[in-house]
Chain A
Amino acid sequence: MRPAWSLIFFTTMSGLGLGLAGWIVIGLLPLMTVSSLIGVAVLTLFLIGAGLLSSTFHLGHPERAWRALSQWRSSWLSREGVLAVIVMAGLAGWFAAGYLGMIVPLWANIALLVLIYATVYATSMIYASLKTVARWYHPLTPACYLMFAAAGGLLASLALLSLLGLPITAALAQAALVLMLSAWGVKFAWWRVAGMARNQGSIESATGLVGMGAVRPLMPPHTEENYLQHEMGFVVARKHADKLRMIAIGLGGVVPVLVLLMAPASASALAFGLIAHVAGMFVERWLFFAEARHVVTLYYEGAA
């Protein structure tokens, strides 16, 4: 599948923002001063909102994007939009309550936490519900999105804690380490299981030419690349998949893990670790799209 930059940015940034928000609403960051409260509020809502906004850039008609909130009963894309809007409003209310010195009741925090992870889940299900792309159509796909949101969010929380000059306990640093390793563990499992999945069917079942011997494409229906080939037949990443995977693991996993092991109290080290993690996640998400093979390529290449 063609990796659209807007979608890579969207899933990476809003995933990180939502993960961060999840840790905030359970009270990990003591936002005692007005400036820290406003700063963190702006950063969190910016990450989620910028991600959402960028996802509208690949649309043919962005001005009609509001219509995407209407079909939540059948469409995961619509559910993602609805949940994201509710979460953004809920978080704005949560920060406003903090600013006004109100105590947010426990049930509200829990409800917000559930909605936050439901949004991440809905994002992943946009892809995991597509039966036409076998490597996405797997329960481990949402597991990766959820784990990376939690792990990236905790890393961002630690970086913010140290930037605000607040102490980071050894237990918290260890929790971040375990979560980061677990997230990459799930991703390795995805690469081994879902990543190896082949699309069902064959050129014979796709053309209905069964029992006539092997079928091979003889002539394409057009002389130039069409929308389908442009959108579904991306090949650049498959050529360099191994190298890109090492870059993703190195930046997204190894660097943050080393930072958490060696300098969990250093603000600059944590900030560096977070930036490396985000960069690694961009590559991971780029591969997620670029390596995926759509079953329609059967009609063009005879294999998918």
Chain B
Amino acid sequence: MTMLPEPSAIKLGLVIDLDICVGCQACVVNCKEWNTAGYGAPLADVDAYGGSPNGAWLNRVHAYEAGSGAEARTVHFPKSCLHCEDAPCVTVCPTGASYKRAEDGIVLVNEDWCIGCGLCAWSCPYGARELDPAEGVMKKCTLCVDRIYNDNLPEEDRQPACVRTCPTNARHFGDLGDPNSEVSLMVAARGGVDLMPEQDTRPVNKYLPPRPRRVADDAPMSLVSMVEADSPGGFWKWVDTTLDRLG
């Protein structure tokens, strides 16, 4: 059913901290590893070891430079499905394969119904959907629906693969419908933002912008001045004069 459900009370999603992501791609790899064996058809790769490899991935990490000159910063930017409340990818689907779950807001594709027309990928402003090159069905982030409710896994593993694997803790999973959840408090404290708010998709996933650059009280010392400040007449002075004497 591709009519959107009434907004759910529980809105499961991700909060991604752009301040601390280092762009290591571990989330990308673990996402592919889990999802190629999990929900639906495997995530195919074509010509994986050849000249122009191509494949379906549910999570990709871009890198941007923000600002210029001395103020420029490198920002690593992971991007996957934002599980939008007004998800255009759901309403455009002609078959009912693309749907948003009424109970927790996760957007999924029923791969047995998907005809692979690609219209949902066209309607998504974020590029969150990729057609599987082998299976001909649309693939997208499932928020690891087969992990988060999986009683067979230890409790600490019941979160999306990308979140579980992130070595810097830049990714967080939780209920963004609950204003008192850890993720909601984080978004409130850090001024979490929606991507492309002008598209009116109302994404559930939020991004925490990089913290303002901290400016040191004093300019850092040069090595020479450190030597001079630390050891007037000490060891380094002896080295200095000895080397001078050697000509």
Q: Which residues of A contact B (CB under 8 A)?
A: 1, 58-62, 64-65, 67-71, 73-78, 81, 126, 129-133, 200-201, 203, 205-210, 212-228, 231-232, 294-296, 299
Contacts and interface: CB of A to CB of B under 8 A. Distances in A.
A227 B121 contact: yes
A68 B117 contact: yes
B195 A206 contact: yes
A179 to B, nearest CB: 31
B64 interface: yes
A207 B53 contact: no
A212 B123 contact: no
Interface string B110-131: 0001111111011111110011
Contacts of B96: 67, 70-71
A222 B195 CA distance: 21
Contact of A70 (B91, B95, B122, B207): B95
Given A1-B122, A226-B54, A212 B67 contact: yes
A74 B91 contact: yes
A203 B67 CA distance: 13
Given A218-B65, A299-B62, A76 B92 contact: yes
A205 B94 CA distance: 30
9 smallest beta-carbon distances between A and B, as pairs:
A60-B116, A60-B136, A213-B67, A221-B60, A68-B94, A78-B94, A67-B95, A219-B63, A296-B127
Contact of A220 (B62, B125, B195): B62
B68 A214 contact: yes
Given A60-B131, A212-B67, 18 more contacts: A60-B132, A60-B135, A71-B93, A71-B95, A73-B3, A131-B123, A132-B123, A213-B67, A214-B67, A217-B63, A218-B65, A218-B74, A220-B62, A221-B60, A225-B52, A227-B131, A228-B130, A231-B121
B207 to A, nearest CB: 4
A239 to B, nearest CB: 22
A296 to B, nearest CB: 4
Nearest to B208: A208
A299 B195 CA distance: 11
A131 B75 contact: no
Given A62-B115, A224-B53, A130 B122 contact: yes
Contacts of B3: 73-74
A61 B115 contact: yes
